[in-house]
Amino acid sequence: MSEATPMDPKLGDMPKLDQGASGVGIGNFQEVGPLDTFLKPRNSTWLKKTELLFVDSPVGAGYSFVEDKNLYVKSDEEAALSSLLLNLMVAKSRLAEKIRKQLTNGEYVEATETWMELESMISVNSNSVDFYNFLLDSGMDPLSLTTSEETRKENRLLKKSSADDEGNLDKLMNGIIKRKLKIIPKDLSWGNNSGDVFTAMQADFMRPTIERVDELLAKGVDVTIYNGQLDVICSTSGTEAWVHNHKWEGIQEFKKMDIEPLYCENDRERTRGFTKSFKNLHFYWILGAGHFQHVPVDEPCVALKMVGEIMKSPQL
């Protein structure tokens, strides 16, 4: 995508050059992009009037490709379906920009509400993807809880309908554990007030924490960030960008450090993640894992190794 200087339209209104060929090549360099095939400026570029997003479509055109030739689309309907992700990305960018402005203005409650709108939009356009692990659908993962009130209600109904399932956490906590503790009020159910807690902290949910973390780093406190590759809520690219935005004096050296692969014990055939550290800042990328509490469930071996390194525990 190229950025237009004279105008700043909403991304949702941005023309998407999806022309049944390589928009990245033909549409861009031969037709309406800022440069021609000689890399000379084009005076009539549409970029003077709007932002442009060039798309190679249908799949197979230009740089787009499939690993199995049977996956080539065979109709306009199939080609349209392949563009759903693009439309989702544009809508997501519009809401993300709205969130950015709200955060800049200190409108943290409003930013949280827009984030919830973004979450709902993604859910509608992805057949209810699991926000904590994008390889799953919502409801497939017992650890998954999204933020929107509507989805929380659906999850509560789902829990009630499966209350007799073996290993059900609600049944465990509200059954034998509650009886063993002996001090829990009879009318109090485990997890029943989670929605109220989130609402009470809504103004803090989207509040930036970079300054706080910078302060910890400056004082020499060990700071470890770990991120699951399959997380939608805290995506790996977003988490990495957040880390790079810190003002700590060692951040530039941290950026230069090479990443090191992570393995499960002596199994060197499968890379389970990556890590890098500089002084008291440590970052772990965990492959095949979802949101933070999913990491020890999805990748228990490498998660245990990570905790051992953080705590400087001896090998057992």
Looking up tokens 């984030």 gives: 115
Lookup: tokens for 212? 């706080």
Q: What is the pTM of this model?
A: 0.64
Looking up tokens 């890098």 gives: 276
DSSP state at residue 143: T
Distance CA 125, CA 164 (A): 32
CATH number of 210-311: 3.40.50.12670
Beta strands at 260-262 and 21-22: parallel, antiparallel or unpaired: unpaired
Q: Each residue's pLDDT tens digit in the chain (316 positions)?
A: 333 333 344 444 444 444 445 677 777 777 778 888 778 888 877 777 667 777 766 666 676 666 777 766 665 545 555 555 556 566 667 888 888 899 989 999 999 999 898 888 888 877 787 877 877 776 666 555 444 444 444 444 444 444 455 667 788 888 888 898 888 888 888 887 777 777 888 888 888 999 999 999 999 999 999 999 999 888 898 999 999 999 999 999 999 999 999 999 888 989 999 999 999 999 999 999 988 777 888 888 888 888 888 888 776 5
Break the chain into its structural domains and give their ranges: 11-82, 95-200, 210-311
CA 132 to chain CA centroid, Å, is 9
Annotated catalytic residue 187? no
Distance CA 31, CA 37 (A): 10
Catalytic residue among 138, 231, 282, 298: 231
Annotated catalytic residue 291? yes
Burial 32-50 (b: 16+ CB within 10 A, else e): bbbeeeeeeebeebbbeee
Distance CA 216, CA 281 (A): 10
Largest CA distance in the chain: 79
- Residue 109 near residue 202, CB atoms below 8 Å: yes
Annotated catalytic residue 231? yes
Looking up tokens 């990305």 gives: 89
Catalytic residue among 64, 82, 83, 93: 93
Contacts of 90 (CB under 8 A, 6+ apart): 11, 12, 14, 16, 53
Distance CA 273, CA 299 (A): 10
Lookup: tokens for 164? 């007799």
